[in-house]
């Protein structure tokens, strides 16, 4: 009898333990409505139907709207596909928090903003890089940090990003219970700050203009030739120089300034600053800015993060030093890994469009030669050139 009793007790103990574990697992897997095994909910009807949604309407797209608003923590009433006053209140709250026109109507603008939040809540597994994207832009789109993207994809050099590259956006999906579900449940407030920061300064580049920008100089092997080609065509460009190299080759920096180019800061050490403390970032940027100012007589007002690895701390610290962050519009460097000048030319021509900010480098062997062919080709396509001065789009370097 005792044996049976002990067995019952043992079963009871094991069973209670099992229940204790089953409850959270069930919650994670099941109580997050619309999510099955970590997959994304299907809100296609909402985003793909061209219908403007407002009070009185019913349908699957309304149901999906309610479900997404609930996922965003803005809607607690029933997800019934009927657009009533409570749905309208949730839409108004959404429009309010994302700086949209508050009308309680879900038109194309509100749908686009909802889609942006949907991508952050439920990032797809992968992203295919298209022209014009930087790592920062891709990270912001999915509510990730640049360092997360770098880690997930084991990127050695984030500059080496080309259209068509496929980036993984999530860790292994085979273990949905391990936390992917709860990561996605983070309230949208967590990422809204990042989303509101604009990584690329909107310089008023007029139509049919292209800005040529060069990172990583000065470099005694390549900078003189680049400066000569630019002079040959009377073109003003923007150079993002590395502080310690500027100190090493001050004459080249002086020449950039004397020949009318804009000089920006590309860090002092050229190390990845994303993830470092404000003080570390400030020290690096300030050293570079001071050094360039002393050499050229111009105080840089533009900053471009080394390796394109931007985070909020850098944006803030650059702003405190009177600098604006400027990224670029092509993907990766047009001259990185190019085997011939022709290859550089082809890449840039593929990215040429009104207002393009083209990233090239000092330090690669084919850049100067490519420019000699590229500049006349772009001119034939009707493009003019300019540097990135803060208040004038046609005048070369303003003094500070
Ligand atoms: Zn660089």
Note whether residue 1 is domain-resident.
no
Note whether residue 399 is domain-resident.
no
State the distance from the centre of ligand 1 to the C-alpha of 92, rounded, in angstroms. 44
Together in a domain, 357 and 260: yes
The answer to whether the beta carbons of residues 159 and 336 sit under 8 Å apart is: yes
Indicate which CATH number applies to the domain containing 178: 3.10.350.10
Q: Who contacts 163 (Cβ-Cβ below 8 Å, separation ≥6)?
A: 129, 130, 131, 331
Burial of 76 (0-12, 13-18, 19+ CB in 10 A): exposed
State the distance from the centre of ligand 1 to the C-alpha of 128, rounded, in angstroms. 23
Together in a domain, 213 and 301: yes
Together in a domain, 248 and 355: yes
Q: Which residues surround ligand 1, an ion (CB under 5 A)?
A: 215-216, 306
Together in a domain, 214 and 333: yes
In which band, very low, low, confident or very high, does the pLDDT at 332 lie, cut at 50, 70 and 90?
Answer: low
State the distance from the centre of ligand 1 to the C-alpha of 215, rounded, in angstroms. 5
Q: How far apart are CA 341 and CA 369, in angstroms?
A: 6
101, 117, 133 - which closes a domain = 117
The answer to whether the beta carbons of residues 241 and 249 sit under 8 Å apart is: no
Residue with tokens 């490519």: 370
Q: Which domain holds residue 317?
A: 209-385
State the distance from the centre of ligand 1 to the C-alpha of 278, rounded, in angstroms. 20
Indicate which CATH number applies to the domain containing 374: 3.20.20.370
Together in a domain, 184 and 62: no
Together in a domain, 138 and 279: no
Together in a domain, 369 and 237: yes
Note whether residue 30 is domain-resident.
no
State the distance from the centre of ligand 1 to the C-alpha of 308, rounded, in angstroms. 7
State the distance from the centre of ligand 1 to the C-alpha of 132, rounded, in angstroms. 18
Note whether residue 335 is domain-resident.
yes
Q: How far apart are CA 383 and CA 370, in angstroms?
A: 17
Note whether residue 299 is domain-resident.
yes
CA 207 vs. chain centroid, Å, equals 24
* The total number of structural domains that make up the chain: 3
Together in a domain, 174 and 251: no
CA 78 vs. chain centroid, Å, equals 36
Q: How far apart are CA 367 and CA 350, in angstroms?
A: 16
State the distance from the centre of ligand 1 to the C-alpha of 120, rounded, in angstroms. 29
Q: How far apart are CA 232 and CA 328, in angstroms?
A: 24
Together in a domain, 217 and 145: no
Query: What DSSP character marks residue 58?
Result: B
State the distance from the centre of ligand 1 to the C-alpha of 166, rounded, in angstroms. 22
State the distance from the centre of ligand 1 to the C-alpha of 400, rounded, in angstroms. 25
**Residue-wise burial string across 9-35, b where 16 or more C-beta atoms lie within 10 A, e elsewhere:** eeeeeeeeeeeeeeeeeeebeeebebb
State the distance from the centre of ligand 1 to the C-alpha of 159, rounded, in angstroms. 8
pLDDT in tens, 345-399: 988 888 788 878 899 999 889 999 999 999 999 999 999 998 877 543 333 322 2
Note whether residue 390 is domain-resident.
no
Query: What DSSP character marks residue 79?
Result: -
Cα–Cα distances in Å, from 323 out to 266, 273, 275, 362? 11, 16, 19, 22
Q: How far apart are CA 397 and CA 72, in angstroms?
A: 47
pLDDT in tens, 41-99: 889 899 888 899 999 999 999 999 999 999 999 999 999 999 999 999 999 999 988 77
Q: How far apart are CA 365 and CA 150, in angstroms?
A: 27
The answer to whether the beta carbons of residues 266 and 227 sit under 8 Å apart is: no
pLDDT in tens, 261-319: 999 999 999 998 988 999 999 999 999 999 999 999 999 999 999 888 888 889 899 99
Is the bond leading into 218 cis (omega within 30 degrees of zero)? yes
Cα–Cα distances in Å, from 125 out to 114, 117, 350? 19, 16, 28
Note whether residue 22 is domain-resident.
no
pLDDT in tens, 175-228: 333 233 333 333 332 232 332 334 445 555 667 889 999 999 999 999 999 999
Residue with tokens 């103990």: 13
Note whether residue 28 is domain-resident.
no
196, 220, 247 - which closes a domain = 196
State the distance from the centre of ligand 1 to the C-alpha of 270, rounded, in angstroms. 6
CB-CB neighbours of 249 under 10 Å = 17
Together in a domain, 307 and 352: yes
State the distance from the centre of ligand 1 to the C-alpha of 136, rounded, in angstroms. 15
Strand partners, 324: 302
State the distance from the centre of ligand 1 to the C-alpha of 134, rounded, in angstroms. 14
117, 138, 161 - which closes a domain = 117
Q: How far apart are CA 212 and CA 124, in angstroms?
A: 34
Together in a domain, 190 and 213: no
Q: How far apart are CA 393 and CA 224, in angstroms?
A: 25
Q: How far apart are CA 48 and CA 170, in angstroms?
A: 24
Together in a domain, 149 and 273: no
pLDDT in tens, 118-167: 888 888 888 988 766 777 778 878 878 777 888 888 887 666 677 778 89
State the distance from the centre of ligand 1 to the C-alpha of 333, rounded, in angstroms. 10
Residue with tokens 């900078």: 223
Identify the CA nearest to 346 among candidates 328, 361, 334. Answer: 334
Indicate which CATH number applies to the domain containing 74: 1.10.101.10
């Amino acid at each position: 009898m005792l044996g049976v009793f002990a067995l019952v007790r043992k079963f009871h103990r094991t069973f209670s333990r099992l229940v204790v574990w089953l409850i959270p697992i069930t919650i994670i897997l099941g109580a997050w409505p619309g999510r099955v095994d970590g997959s994304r909910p299907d809100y296609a009807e909402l985003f793909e139907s061209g219908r403007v949604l407002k009070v009185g309407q019913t349908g699957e797209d309304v149901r999906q709207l309610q479900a997404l608003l609930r996922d965003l923590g803005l809607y607690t009433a029933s997800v019934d596909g009927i657009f009533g006053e409570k749905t309208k209140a949730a839409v108004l709250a959404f429009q309010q928090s994302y700086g949209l026109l508050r009308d309680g109507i879900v038109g194309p603008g509100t749908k686009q903003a909802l889609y942006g939040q949907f991508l952050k809540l439920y990032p797809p597994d992968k992203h295919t890089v298209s022209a014009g994207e930087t790592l920062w832009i891709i990270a912001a789109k999915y509510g990730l940090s640049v360092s997360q993207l770098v880690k997930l994809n084991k990127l050695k050099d984030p500059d080496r990003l080309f259209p068509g590259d496929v980036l993984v956006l999530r860790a292994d999906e085979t273990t949905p219970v391990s936390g992917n579900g709860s990561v996605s449940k983070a309230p949208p407030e967590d990422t809204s700050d990042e989303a509101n920061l604009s990584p690329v300064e909107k310089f008023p580049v007029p139509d049919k203009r292209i800005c040529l920008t060069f990172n990583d100089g000065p470099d005694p092997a390549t900078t003189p030739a680049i400066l000569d080609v630019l002079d040959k065509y009377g073109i003003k460009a923007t150079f993002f120089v590395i502080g310690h190299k500027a100190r090493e080759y001050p004459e080249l920096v002086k020449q950039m300034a004397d020949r009318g180019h804009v000089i920006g800061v590309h860090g002092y050490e050229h190390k990845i600053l994303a993830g470092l403390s404000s003080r570390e970032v400030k020290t690096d940027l300030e050293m570079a800015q001071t050094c360039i100012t002393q050499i050229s007589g111009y105080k840089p007002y533009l900053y471009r993060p080394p390796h394109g690895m931007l985070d909020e701390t850098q944006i803030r610290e650059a702003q405190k030093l009177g600098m604006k962050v400027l990224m670029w519009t092509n993907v990766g460097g047009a001259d990185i890994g190019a085997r011939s000048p022709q290859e550089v030319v082809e890449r840039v021509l593929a990215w040429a469009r009104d207002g393009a900010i083209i990233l090239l480098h000092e330090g690669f062997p084919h850049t100067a030669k490519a420019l000699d062919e590229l500049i006349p080709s772009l001119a034939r396509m009707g493009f003019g050139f300019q540097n990135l001065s803060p208040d004038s789009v046609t005048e070369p370097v303003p003094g500070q």
